[in-house]
Amino acid sequence: MPFLELSLVTRAGQQPRAEQALEDLGAQAVTLLDAEDHPILEPAPGETPLWPQVRLQALFAADADRRGLTLALCELLPELAPDQLAFREVADQDWERVWMDRFQPMRFGRRLWIYPWNVEPPVDAGEAVVVRLDPGLAFGTGTHPTTALCLEWLDGLALAGRTVLDYGCGSGVLAIAALKLGAARAIGIDNDPQALTASRDNAERNGVAARLALHAPDAWDGAPADALVANILAGPLAELAPRFAAAVIPGAPIALSGILRGQEDELLARYAEWFEDLEVAAREDWVRIAGRRKAD
């Protein structure tokens, strides 16, 4: 069944009213998108930020009255002008199939593969290490450069018997990859309950849930781990440097990502107090810093 899509752009402060108006007029679904170029990858604890300019896309029945919707919205939202509303017809789709077409098996490093959860790896996969992933609503499928940089780093580590801390675990892909690569235990930390749920579901799907502990930041005891990976953002990484230093044993390898090009120098200086052998790797506009904890 086709749908009628209505699209409009509003300021973040006006978004709740606009979304409520669309729902009151019978929208079957409303999607919020960045109307400009202000990515939000990792909110601070307790925050639910929006972009400065928000695009709302609402789906209505295909036979909905466009003129009636326009008049009603302009009455409910006086700041809108009729020419700010855009309509288009959209075909019904097999959304799972569309997602599957976009998310194909990907290799990271020498042997690590990320597969959609319902795609079977070949029987002759050899030494391939396969993570089966359903990202759900949380960040982290491996398609983003920051995630790819961290997965490649994990693939190059000797993880047998180690405990790996994944700070900002998102979908759990990094913690699960560490476990599939041989880590004895992993700890996932995230301020988003939805991310912890996605991580738990993905861990169960990969048969490693018993070895993955998941916590909100304030519920984590900070016991030292043997390795740490944090794919968040430069600001939180700078703030967390002392905590990360206390969270790993001397000599432990670390990887930090979610860093835009140009932000690495400040972080290198910040982490040099506690970490050594710091190296930078880049992909597209993103950077990973890797190193190891200094001996006390």
Token look-up 């905590």 returns 243
- Known binding residues for S-adenosyl-L-methionine are 147, 168, 190, 231
Is residue 276 within 8 Å of residue 292, measured between CB atoms?
yes
244 vs 223: CA distance, rounded Å: 11
Show the beta-strand stretches assigned E in the chain. Answer: 3-11, 29-34, 53-61, 86-90, 106-108, 112-116, 129-133, 163-167, 185-189, 212-215, 227-231, 253-260, 275-283, 286-293
β pairing state of 112-116 and 129-133: parallel
- Known binding residues are 147, 168, 190, 231
Joined tokens for residue 250: 């001397």
In the chain, what is the greatest distance between 2 CA atoms, to the nearest angstrom? Answer: 70
Alpha carbon separation from 135 to 122, 129, 132, 142, 199 (Å, rounded): 22, 18, 10, 10, 9
